Structure 1
Amino acid sequence: MKKRNYFSVFLTLAVLPALLLCGCEDTAVSYSIVGESQAVSESVDGGSSAADSSSVTGDISAAGSVFATDSSQEEQKIENQEKEPEAVLIQVYVCGAVASPGVYTLPEGSRVYEAVEMAGGLLDTADPRALNQARMLSDGEQVTVLTVEEVQNGETVEQSSAGEDLSGVSGASDGGKVNINTADEAGLMTIPGIGESRAKAIIAYREENGKFESIEDIMKIDGIKEKMFDKIKDSITVS
């Protein structure tokens, strides 16, 4: 009986340390697993956080770059607009044998033909030869287009603006009168009512017959009669 009790005590003492060792190993394994799980979790969370932080930083940097580019382009556009000179405009009154007589606004430096085009163009009854369509316009002037009948009747109009300086025109005298003996085609066309065809006729007459002896001799040109002469005599001279 005593031997059995000793054996039980011995068996208990032998088994108990083994059980205790097994328990410690399980605990260690448990702690190890828990630690690795936490490490993995921390590693995953940390990586995600770093990636998110990097993404946000990149977005902010890109947005700042776009904003800076847009601002630079806007400033450049404003500078270009400030440097562009404003166009100077003039107004002229177009009347007579045109489709739509009226006051028209054109850029400075425009020609008569451009004003006529804005007025709808010439009517079929208009005489384009009585109009210097290449002449440069000035602000506030009137452009009158005569009909063929009006020209045949000797009617003329002053196509140049009031007070225009003719001193720079070839053949113009000191008093602003056009010398019909020396003026070229462009100079002759500054005379009221003298268009391209009449200017050429005057030059042809000079080449064939020599100089005009008096201003009255201009009536020897076809289309220039007494009525028209009365209107242009104060604008011409001979020498």
Structure 2
Amino acid sequence: MRTQGYTQLKMFQKSDEFFNSLGLIPMPEEFWAKSLIVKPKDREVVCHATAWDFCNGKDLRIKQCTEVNMRDFITVHHEMGHIQYYLQYKDLPHIYREGANPGFHEAVGDTLALSVQTPKHLKEIGLLDQATQIDDYETSINFLMAIALKKVASLPFAYIIDKYRWAIFDGSVDPSQYNSYWWKLRKEYQGIKPPVERSEENFDPGTIYHVASHVDCSRYFAAIIIQFQFHRSLCKEVDQ
């Protein structure tokens, strides 16, 4: 990407081109004028990527401290997926301008991002060498394993974040056990332990955006499952 002169803006433009190629709605002028896609140097901002609908049908923005790498390239498409969803229901009454559930909205963004990271698409946009074999068994298995490591491994993590948060809310965990309980859940559901010894002097879950900012993670748990149902349906439509 860097060799080809990718910038943060070009990453978003490539994403817009991808959506346009699917027959979806181009980003409005307000999106390009008002989105924050590069971390500002003159002030502190929350860099966690988010998409925003200002509910007038045209002022739609993304806030992301984008870096030129593959991880953020996928995130760009995910956030643009949210914006595309906003655009699709912008003319409906306000009460209908939401996903069927929070996981539904996240799944829409992830479904679109799934197609972006396939070897075939990366080769088409010049981010994989043209000589790279994309249809052989080994490439397919390696790609599917990479997706599984990212998606399947996220299920228990998303689950324990909300299990942890609600245990705090309902008072079933004493404040003297906030950190030890976190690592108890991680060992029980993820099978991992801290690389160094931790104590109640530490507050490791507080480093996670969704804990510190009070964002539910059940939406991501549901989205991981729903996105593959969406993707399967889209693939069936293409094959017809």
TM-score by length of 2: 0.26
Larger RCO, structure (CA 8 Å, separation 6 or more)? 2
Q: Highest Rg: 1 or 2?
A: 1
TM-score (norm 1): 0.26
Q: Which has the higher strand share?
A: 1
